[in-house]
Amino acid sequence: MKPEKIIISPGPCNPDKAGISTTVIDYFRSTVPILGGCLGHQCVGQAFGAIVGPAGEIMHGKTSDIYHDGKGVFSDIPSPFAAIRYHSLSISKDEFPNELEISAWTENGIVMGVRHKSLPIEGVQFHPESIKNRIWQAIVAEFFVY
């Protein structure tokens, strides 16, 4: 298998129960650009040593303003923008791995995006593919620039 890009999609569980998602990230991390969404984002974090745990508030079908650094997949997206969230877990800022940086967050500091500092790997906690989100095309377009 020689993928050109990998997208790790959302799912109903946690990274420990996400099948081969974290294994795929580990295997392809240095050779293939990777984008994770929701559970995929959590898998990206965990693959690099981040702690994934309860988000503090359950967000199922709720909209939040997402702030970001304007880099990578967020290059052409206004900050903040409204995004639909469907999750009860999130990446913790505690013991955050040095290889990653926080690229997006909510007003109350919940991690909504991570980016590897030197590899083309990003994750977003919200659901950019939701029909209610209008930023999916921009995020995917920026991902395919990698």
The yes-or-no verdict on residue 46 having pLDDT over 80 is yes
Q: Which residues are catalytic?
A: 38, 127, 129
Write the CATH number of the domain with boundaries 6-143: 3.40.50.880
Q: How far is CA 141 from CA 48, 110, 121, 135, in A?
A: 25, 25, 14, 10
At residue 76, the pLDDT reads 86
Residue spans of beta strands (DSSP E) within 10-51: 34-37
Is the Cα dihedral 88, 127, 72, 4 positive or negative?
A: positive
Look at the pTM and tell me if it is higher than 0.85. Answer: yes
Going from N- to C-terminal start, the domains of the chain cover 6-143
What confidence tens digit (pLDDT) does each residue in 81-110 have?
A: 988 888 889 999 998 999 999 999 999 999
- Share above pLDDT 70 across residues of the chain, in percent, rounded to a whole number: 94
Strand order in the sheet with 52-68: 6-8, 34-37, 121-124, 111-116, 100-106, 52-68, 81-91
